[in-house]
Amino acid sequence: MGVMGMARWFRVSRGWLAAGVLVATALVLPHVVSTFWVRLVTGLVMWIALAQTWNMIGGYTGLISFGQGAFFGVGAYVTALLIERGWPFGAALVPALIFPALLAGVIGLPTLRLRGAYFAIATWAFAEFMRQAALVAEVTGGSTGMRVRLILDERVIYYIMLGTAVLWLALAWWLLESRPFGLRLRAIRDHALAAEMLGIDTTRVKMQAFTLAAAVAGVFGGLYGVWITFLHPDSAL
């Protein structure tokens, strides 16, 4: 093995070692720290995963969207309402993925043809509409908020949040860095007109990214509602 080969082997080995230490730490963390730290790390993991949903829209596609919070809130309320009606936790998460995706499809049809500040304003208006609707709707508890009964232990929520975040981050990396999908998004971000001239259906590709990001945000919203056990439009939307 030459010098370059050894250097490459050491770099790879250090990377795997660091990953192994990180995984081991994450797995044993709930058993060696207090509930406060478990909740803190649970929230941190959730926000990192949510940041990647926005990164798909803002970072890779170049669209400033204020709608992610609304999709997150829809997932939270849908899951909470279904759990209160006796649905199992896993089954209640499925509509938390589907409803935000469908909503994103409906909202995206007119708004994704807009560019720049116009798209940002349209998504802000949508998010504000959803917040105001939740503030007056009886089913969401209105301005009083909505209690969600505790159904899972703090440690269980931590592991579910961690596992879901890892799966999402791995999927996002695969789509954005290893597949043509990511190249199309970057092409749209850098020069939408040139991307269209190259044969990229920019509206369709943006819709795919917008819908996927909304669906994932909805899933984490559902996890958030079960974890935090209280929802209010000002914090969940």
Any residues with CB less than 8 A from the CB of 27 and at least 6 apart, and which? none
My answer on whether 101 and 19 are in the same domain is no
My answer on whether 28 and 42 are in the same domain is no
Output the tens digit of pLDDT for each of the chain's 237 residues.
Answer: 554 555 565 555 666 677 677 778 888 888 888 889 999 999 999 999 999 999 999 988 899 999 899 999 999 999 999 998 989 999 999 999 999 999 999 999 999 888 888 999 999 999 999 999 999 988 888 888 888 888 888 899 999 999 999 999 999 999 998 888 989 999 999 888 888 888 888 889 999 999 999 999 999 999 999 999 889 888 877
Domain residues for the domain of 225 are 34-236
Domain count, the chain: 2
My answer on whether 109 and 167 are in the same domain is yes
My answer on whether 53 and 127 are in the same domain is yes
My answer on whether 131 and 199 are in the same domain is yes
Assessment of whether the complete model's pTM goes beyond 0.85: yes
